[in-house]
Structure 1
């Protein structure tokens, strides 16, 4: 019989660990790391004793382990996204479903969505107040939601409007339930679980309409949205995805690619306002059509401000040898993305925001991990990267983003994501004044003379 060998950790009562994580996640991770090293054991709400890792070799070994040895945890977002979600599926079922979902988010398929993303960015940025500070995250949320609705759901008309209103509420309630140990049935029909069930029911009704409409569309094969592609996708045995699987996966793609992408963009604004020299260089690069520094900046933003700061696995085998440790069946293991990105050996002067470190250098697959790693790495990582690049390019071309000497915005835990506490506040001015309509010029002779002059 194999004897378990777990790393040491704080001996204080488990409920204190949970309080420290809920009230100051980054501070707690770093404090325990300083005391116990790159691996330690803490008692976490829902998970119990959990091994926290940040050693690159051990993290790589965990991510590359066969799924019959280590796989996803049980208490994951699948309970909100449905049994057909990638979060719910394990082993061979997960592999088969992921294979169907991969093509729309890689290679030449991505180019189809570039114009759509820029259109949505320009549309929402047109409403930005000029010369007055505002929270950019609200706008970024709208942009990424509209992109998802068009690119993934193929939504338009009444369904587009209904989903645009419904989905933020569904995600917000689901995030709160994922973070807090609220028992199902709490407060009955007035409680958060009942509210979530109502939102999910509304979502299923709308998506059923979209699926039925797409399935009977004679031009289905010509459509570019992910819904249309999933309806035409086939497993290796020739069978199609069920309507329930499609609904669950569409919601999964929304959850994985909406809030996280918007939050990273808000963090990007927060970082750039506090680094004016970098901001000037980015504007100059955008004006001549370059992208290298912008891409490096987005990589560095995700390193210093990861929106998801950890990813977890559960041991499924009788035991699992992971580097120095022997983990028993059922053991929860958490990879701290935050601590990996803090590693001085991987990223010299890690607390500094320095995009130069990624100029001409690809981030390491097993060391830079804002999208997780292994078989469960975020399937929409390439799409999200492209979307952030286009939205930031549009911002730099259209607006002057004013620097600030305000303190850094703190990270606020929103249930799943770590967001800027003040939502990435910014003050902007248009770089090029919009053209004045002819009718308006004719009605204002003084203004017309000014324009002519």
Structure 2
């Protein structure tokens, strides 16, 4: 298997310093299939894939051979619990997915557009004028408000404020916490090392508040009439007629928070950062939105998710041998379809580093050539919800705010845990409206 022969510690340091650079160097040197040793990630023995045919093969491989839950469990369970959809495999994963997936597709999604519009209007009104602010932080605040109302079904008031404060504290993770996620031996308090203990305390507080909400929601006389996702999950049933327990509901709520908060906020921040740097694209987008046509808006979102995918790769742990091209991968290897590299293939996307939304107007890449939401039975639940939220937010922001970049220099990619984020948070300035 082609790949670096450097010690695992050195490869891990290179990977953590610059994931995108690590991946791009690997493909240049070794081709579309290459190995790496990365301490603290899944099994540590990683094979990255950059060919859509190999990606398709992995996404179509069943859980008896390749398990996504095994790859995610180490970092997911401390945050989202043992019943998180992200860390489950096999029949239990399918049962949970059958309950959750219908709540994020079809006509149900339109129920949440009103909440999204209300929250984006309130957010924009609170942004400073003529002062730089980090768009990513602003979008994180906004997407959290949407989750609180549309997903958790909480209404503004004391409990809303308590839950929100606990969730914000839980997600304010520093370097020490991120190291502890990768290195389990650090999941303890050691002298001044308090990050893990602090996290456990705020997580317990958030779970306690949400547990009380679930208990009261189950007994609510208007449960069947409520349209928030928590209320519908309480009523959801697997094939055998069983529903989710309170513990399972708690873990899945936290999963939806983890998977739908930072990811969408980051994608939105990248959208405005790229629009800042490409005024012709922004001008065309504003003009077409004024006519009521959202085709170009959809193309802009697709191109943002191609050029700046929030998650650079997905992972599966092999439990049986799997042949990829001429290579037979052994059980215990973590195979990683690489979103970042597939989206930069020049044979699929000419001039791949350019931001050109029109490439999505006339033709569509195949299922395995555009994979920001993964694929197969593990495709992200938010693959419809997130683009809808992005459409509502982008349209309303462009309609109600005059924005410009705070710096003339484009922001580079920076790693935040496993996400690709703008280096400085997509620093933006809001100007006063012209009257």
Q: TM-score, normalised by structure 1?
A: 0.90
Alignment of 1:9-408 (within 5 A): 9-46=3-40, 47-72=43-68, 73=71, 74-156=73-155, 157-173=157-173, 176-177=178-179, 180-181=182-183, 183=185, 184-187=187-190, 191-317=194-320, 319-402=321-404, 406-408=408-410
d(CA) in 1 for partners of 2:25, 2:51: 16
Q: Deviations over 1:142-165 (max 9, x none)?
A: 110000010111112222112222
* Distance in 1 of aligned mates of 2:290 and 2:93: 44
- Output the CA distance in 1 between the equivalents of 2:191 and 2:61: 42
Contact 1:154–1:227, Cα closer than 8 Å, also in 2: yes
How far off its partner does 1:257 sit? 0.5
- For structure 1, the 5+ residue unaligned runs are 1-6, 434-453
Cα distance in 1 for partners of 2:180, 2:289 equals: 39
| Secondary structure of 1:65's aligned partner | coil
Q: Which segment is superposed worse, 124-133 or 297-306? A: 124-133
SS of 2:35's partner is strand
Q: In structure 1, how many angstroms separate the alpha carbons of the residues matched to 2:316 and 2:207?
A: 29
Rounded Cα–Cα distance in structure 2 between residues aligned with 1:428 and 1:204: 37
SS of residue matched to 2:93: helix
- Cα RMSD for the two superposed structures: 1.8
Alpha-carbon distance between aligned partners in 1 of 2:100 and 2:405, rounded to the nearest angstrom: 41
CA displacement, residues 65-117 of structure 1 (integer Å, 9 cap, x when unaligned): 01111111143413321111101211111011100001110000000000110
SS at match of 1:260: helix
C-alpha separation between the residues in 2 aligned to 1:308 and 1:169? 23
**What is the CA–CA distance in structure 1 between the aligned matches of 2:243 and 2:45, rounded to whole Å?**
41
Which stretch has the larger CA shift, 73-82 or 393-402? 73-82
Instruction: Kindly state the Cα deviation for residue 298 of structure 1 after the two structures are TM-superposed.
Output: 0.9
State whether residues 117 and 390 of structure 1, in contact with CA within 8 Å, keep that contact through their aligned partners in structure 2: yes
Go from structure 1 to structure 2 and tell me whether the alpha carbon gap of 1:93 and 1:189 turns closer, same or farther (over 3 Å shift).
farther
Superposed structure 1 runs of 4+ greater than 6 Å apart: none
Q: Which runs of 5+ in 2 are unaligned?
A: none
Q: Work out which of the two has the higher radius of gyration on C-alpha atoms and give 1 or 2.
A: 1
Worse-superposed segment, 93-102 or 189-198: 189-198
Using a 3 Å threshold, how does the CA distance of structure 1 residues 412 and 13 change in structure 2: closer, same or farther? same
Q: Counterparts of 2:148 and 2:422 in 1: how far apart (Å)?
A: 24
**Secondary structure at the counterpart of residue 229 of structure 1:** helix
Write the distance in 2 (CA, Å) between the matches of 1:400 and 1:307: 26
